[in-house]
Amino acid sequence: MSQVDPGRVGQKRPVRSRRERLRQSTLEEIVEVGRALLREGREVTLRAVATEMGFTAPALYRYVGNVAALNGLLSNNIFAEIVREMAATAEPYGDDDPAAQMVAAATAFRCWALDHIDEFQLVFHTNSLSGEHVARSKAGKPLHPLAPPPQEGAADGVQKFADFFGRIFIGVSQQYPFPVPSRAELDDDFVAVHSPGGSGKPDLARLLGADGLGLIWLFELAWAQLYGIVTLEVFGHIRPQLVRSGALFTAVMHEIGRRAGMADDWDRLAAISQEILARRA
Amino acid sequence: MSQVDPGRVGQKRPVRSRRERLRQSTLEEIVEVGRALLREGREVTLRAVATEMGFTAPALYRYVGNVAALNGLLSNNIFAEIVREMAATAEPYGDDDPAAQMVAAATAFRCWALDHIDEFQLVFHTNSLSGEHVARSKAGKPLHPLAPPPQEGAADGVQKFADFFGRIFIGVSQQYPFPVPSRAELDDDFVAVHSPGGSGKPDLARLLGADGLGLIWLFELAWAQLYGIVTLEVFGHIRPQLVRSGALFTAVMHEIGRRAGMADDWDRLAAISQEILARRA
DNA sequence: GCTTCACGGTGAAGGGTGTTCACGAAGGTT
DNA sequence: AACCTTCGTGAACACCCTTCACCGTGAAGC
């Protein structure tokens, strides 16, 4: 209807104004402080974050608008760090050895989770995907009273995560032949989700050819298994001694690797995983 | 060993006193009300439970002593219901068809979890096992101020759960031959945990012979995978459409079944699972 | 029978939490 | 200089868990 709005058609603001920069800075500090509290095992509460930064609780509502939103911010930040950590661990093995990278990244993921239980649990509770049964609890909430604009690109933490793993997985699929289900063999609903217009990951799908869907399917399966075992270990549903030994995780990794055609190469890959596991102790 | 115990050496109290009966009754009502709140999607808080029962919050401390303890009670109750549900679903297939029972029970587990998300999440958060990183948060808490005696047999919810599945699994192992790792192949720590004196499940181990440990190991693996996928689905980390279709779960079940030597029989078993899945919709 | 006393409830209070709101003190904008 | 947006504050509300002193009732002991 109306033709212009703030910056938009504007020629003026390629650089953010000083105010905007300050705002962004304190927002980052909020996240930073939240992470610090989490790291120290203290409770992450609006008041705690605020006082830690030297001002009072209501002030945070200029930036966050909600304690749930704050959790979302933290969740994203944590996701980013996990990806960074995985990338750093996988990098030395080189892009020409995607199998090693995959094993290394998965193992790094597991170790990071166990070393940062509180952070991992926060990410887990803050379900970024599928706000379906989130909306259930409080339906028509008008978003914010003091209303800072909702963070753009707020829920893409998982996305980057999936992309990171997905890219490696593609490399593996080109190097290690393993059976990929054809489009016809796949579940119809799954195909529907990932067809253009669905809510799938288009950028990842675009990288793939004809049997791309089958690959995504296998990726999803492997991902479920990895996330499953790590989750169980982190949440204390596995006997602590088994967690310490890492035997169960190793077995699951073996299973995943076998399905990804790495059986012949597994001795080498298992050694890589063990080496990374041994770093924490 | 010794022949008497309930009233111990006592001659007097085979029946609990009227007071005790009342106490037990209201305690059960507390759990009941908690479950009801959970079911209705309302928040489970001491006040809510209390007012729902017609009295005030502090009164609950005569029974529960802690909000965490209340969660523990609820968790146990929920576990019991899950087992009941699984047993009811598996029962029709008869003890002479443990594979069908296993598939049925696993599928029932998944369906129950998806139909009772809040309850499932409560159980999941209330880690009954390994109070290790629970103790971290508040170490030397003196337990209670008004101190009702801590519930005996409070943490055995998981135990019954594992026993239920374990028993079926044993039946499967006798009927469907599949490779079982020998004691030598197993991880040392795993063996250590389950040797006499370890913190394993002695009653289940006693039911098994020489390769019992290998069986437990495989059971643990299968269990991790099942719990993993269900957890992911319940916590909204799988795209909702995939959850609805159940394709991922079905694939995982297939995987588990294959490892348990059910490959040849899978058409029949998959049909059973599908039938149970179809009941909810 | 009466006394005693533990049990099971209450209201008040203290210390948390998230959240809203009216109010100002700045700072940038015009 | 006069605006006006931004951002912080203090007070207040509602809710949470938890503790405590206080009683009434009902069971147990003499």
d(CA A14, CA B58): 59
Strand C contacted by A138 CB (< 7 A): no
What is the per-residue pLDDT across B152-168, written as a single tens digit (0 to 9) for each? 444 567 778 888 998 99
In one-letter notation, the amino acid at residue A209 is G
**For residue A140, pLDDT beyond 60:** no
Which burial class, exposed, middle or buried, applies to A33 when counting CB atoms under 10 A from its CB (0-12, 13-18, 19+)? middle
Dihedral angle sign, alpha carbons of residues A123, A113, A60, B136:
positive
In one-letter notation, the amino acid at residue A167 is R
d(CA A193, CA A45): 37
Of B224, B229, B235, the CB nearest to A124: B235
Question: Which of residues A23 and B158 earns the better pLDDT score?
Answer: A23
Judging contacts by C-beta atoms under 8 Å, the chain A residues touching residue B133 are 117, 236
User: Considering only alpha carbons, which residue of chain A is nearest residue B201?
Assistant: A239
**For residue B243, pLDDT beyond 60:** yes
In one-letter notation, the amino acid at residue A75 is S
Judging contacts by C-beta atoms under 8 Å, the chain A residues touching residue B227 are 228, 232, 237
Return the percentage of chain B with pLDDT > 70, whole number.
78
Which burial class, exposed, middle or buried, applies to B19 when counting CB atoms under 10 A from its CB (0-12, 13-18, 19+)? exposed
The long-range contacts involving A108-111, CB below 8 angstroms and separated by at least 24 positions, are A108/A276, A109/A82, A109/A85, A109/A226, A109/A230, A110/A226, A110/A229, A110/A230, A110/A233, A110/A249, A110/A277, A111/A276, A111/A277, A111/A279, A111/A280
CA A174 to the chain's CA centroid: 24
Hey, is A187 helix, strand or coil?
A: coil
Which pLDDT value is given to residue A8?
A: 41
Tally C-beta pairs within 8 A across A and B: 125
What is the per-residue pLDDT across A96-120, written as a single tens digit (0 to 9) for each? 999 999 999 999 999 999 999 999 9
Instruction: Give whole-number Cα distances, A85 to A33, A90, A226, B68, in Å.
Output: 20, 9, 17, 34
For B103-138, b/e burial (b = at least 16 CB within 10 A) is bbbbbbbbbbbbebbbbbbbbbebbbbbeebeeeee
* A149 CA from C30 C1′ (Å): 25
Which pLDDT value is given to residue A130?
A: 36
* B26 CA from C17 C1′ (Å): 29
**For residue A155, pLDDT beyond 80:** no
Which pLDDT value is given to residue A3?
A: 40
Which pLDDT value is given to residue B62?
A: 95
Region A47-64: mean pLDDT is 96
Are A240 and B189 an interchain contact pair (Cβ–Cβ within 8 Å)?
no
Residue A136 pLDDT grade (very low, low, confident, very high; cuts 50, 70, 90):
very low
Residue B195 pLDDT grade (very low, low, confident, very high; cuts 50, 70, 90):
confident
**For residue B146, pLDDT beyond 70:** no
What is the per-residue pLDDT across A6-21, written as a single tens digit (0 to 9) for each? 434 444 444 567 788 8
Contact A33, A53 (CB under 8 A): yes
Which of A126, A124, A130, A132 lies closest to A233, judged by CA? Answer: A124
What is the per-residue pLDDT across A213-226, written as a single tens digit (0 to 9) for each? 888 889 989 988 99
Which pLDDT value is given to residue A212?
A: 80
DSSP 8-class letter at A41: T
The token pair at A200 is: 């799938």
Which residues of B sit within 8 Å Cβ distance of A?
41, 117, 124, 127, 129-130, 132-134, 136-137, 158, 187-190, 192-193, 199-200, 220-221, 224-225, 227-229, 231-232, 235-242, 244-245, 247-248, 250-252, 255
Judging contacts by C-beta atoms under 8 Å, the chain A residues touching residue B238 are 129, 224
Question: Which of residues A44 and B241 earns the better pLDDT score?
Answer: A44
Domain ranges of chain A: 17-65, 79-280
Residue A189 pLDDT grade (very low, low, confident, very high; cuts 50, 70, 90):
confident
Question: Which of residues A133 and A162 earns the better pLDDT score?
Answer: A162
Residue B130 pLDDT grade (very low, low, confident, very high; cuts 50, 70, 90):
very low
For B47-60, b/e burial (b = at least 16 CB within 10 A) is eebbebeeeeeeeb
Instruction: Give whole-number Cα distances, B134 to A68, B118, B129, B138, B235, in Å.
Output: 23, 21, 10, 8, 21
Contact B175, B98 (CB under 8 A): yes
Which pLDDT value is given to residue A196?
A: 65
Judging contacts by C-beta atoms under 8 Å, the chain A residues touching residue B229 are 224-225, 228
Which pLDDT value is given to residue A13?
A: 45
Positions on chain C within 7 A of a protein C-beta = 7-12, 16-22, 27-29
Nucleotide nearest to A143 (CA to C1'): C19
Return the percentage of chain A with pLDDT > 70, whole number.
78
Q: CB < 7 Å to strand D — which of 119-148 in chain A? A: 148
Region A42-71: mean pLDDT is 96
Question: Which of residues A148 and A18 earns the better pLDDT score?
Answer: A18
d(CA A261, CA B23): 61
Question: Which of residues A146 and A226 earns the better pLDDT score?
Answer: A226
Hey, is A182 helix, strand or coil?
A: coil
Q: Which of A25-39, A135-149, B178-192 bottoms out in mean pLDDT, i.e. has the lowest?
A: A135-149
Q: Which of A68-77, A173-182, B138-147 bottoms out in mean pLDDT, i.e. has the lowest?
A: B138-147
Of A130, A187, A248, the CB nearest to B224: A248
Which of A42, A40, A32, A123 lies closest to A76, judged by CA? Answer: A123
Which pLDDT value is given to residue B125?
A: 81
Question: Which of residues B228 and A2 earns the better pLDDT score?
Answer: B228
Which of A82, A11, A70 lies closest to A46, judged by CA? Answer: A70
Nucleotide nearest to B146 (CA to C1'): D19
What is the per-residue pLDDT across B22-52, written as a single tens digit (0 to 9) for each? 899 999 999 999 999 999 999 999 999 999 9
The token pair at A197 is: 């217009």
Q: Which of A145-154, A255-264, B87-96 bottoms out in mean pLDDT, i.e. has the lowest?
A: A145-154
What is the per-residue pLDDT across A225-237, written as a single tens digit (0 to 9) for each? 998 899 989 988 8
Residue B238 pLDDT grade (very low, low, confident, very high; cuts 50, 70, 90):
confident
Are A227 and B232 an interchain contact pair (Cβ–Cβ within 8 Å)?
yes
Which pLDDT value is given to residue B176?
A: 93
Which pLDDT value is given to residue A210?
A: 65
Which pLDDT value is given to residue B150?
A: 57
Region B76-84: mean pLDDT is 94
- Non-local (6+) Cβ contacts of B196 within 8 A are B202
* A208 CA from D3 C1′ (Å): 58
Contact B208, A257 (CB under 8 A): no
Q: Which of A136, A186, A248, A249 is best to mutate for the B interface (most B CBs within 10 A)? A: A248
Q: Which residue's C-alpha is at the least distance from the C1' of C20?
A: A145
**For residue B140, pLDDT beyond 50:** no
d(CA A246, CA A240): 10
Q: Which of A37, A130, A199, A273 is best to mutate for the B interface (most B CBs within 10 A)? A: A130
Strand C contacted by B58 CB (< 7 A): yes
- Chain B: nearest CA to A245, how far in angstroms? 6
**For residue A143, pLDDT beyond 70:** no
Which pLDDT value is given to residue A162?
A: 83
Which of A179, A172, A176, A79 lies closest to A123, judged by CA? Answer: A79
Strand C contacted by A45 CB (< 7 A): yes
- Non-local (6+) Cβ contacts of A122 within 8 A are A38, A44, A71, A74, A75, A78
With the CA atoms of A247, A119, A164 and A85 taken in that order, what torsion angle do they form, in degrees rounded to the nearest 10? -80
Are A245 and B188 an interchain contact pair (Cβ–Cβ within 8 Å)?
yes
Judging contacts by C-beta atoms under 8 Å, the chain B residues touching residue A240 are 130, 132
DSSP A99-121: HHHHHHHHHHHHHHHHHTHHHHH
Which pLDDT value is given to residue B12?
A: 43
Which pLDDT value is given to residue B15?
A: 57
Of B124, B241, B251, the CB nearest to A189: B241
What is the per-residue pLDDT across A116-131, written as a single tens digit (0 to 9) for each? 999 999 988 876 553 3
d(CA A197, CA B255): 30
Which pLDDT value is given to residue A199?
A: 54
Residue B124 pLDDT grade (very low, low, confident, very high; cuts 50, 70, 90):
confident
Contact A252, A229 (CB under 8 A): yes
Strand D contacted by A58 CB (< 7 A): yes
**For residue A80, pLDDT beyond 90:** yes
Contact A145, B254 (CB under 8 A): no
* B77 CA from D17 C1′ (Å): 23
Question: Which of residues B124 and A205 earns the better pLDDT score?
Answer: B124
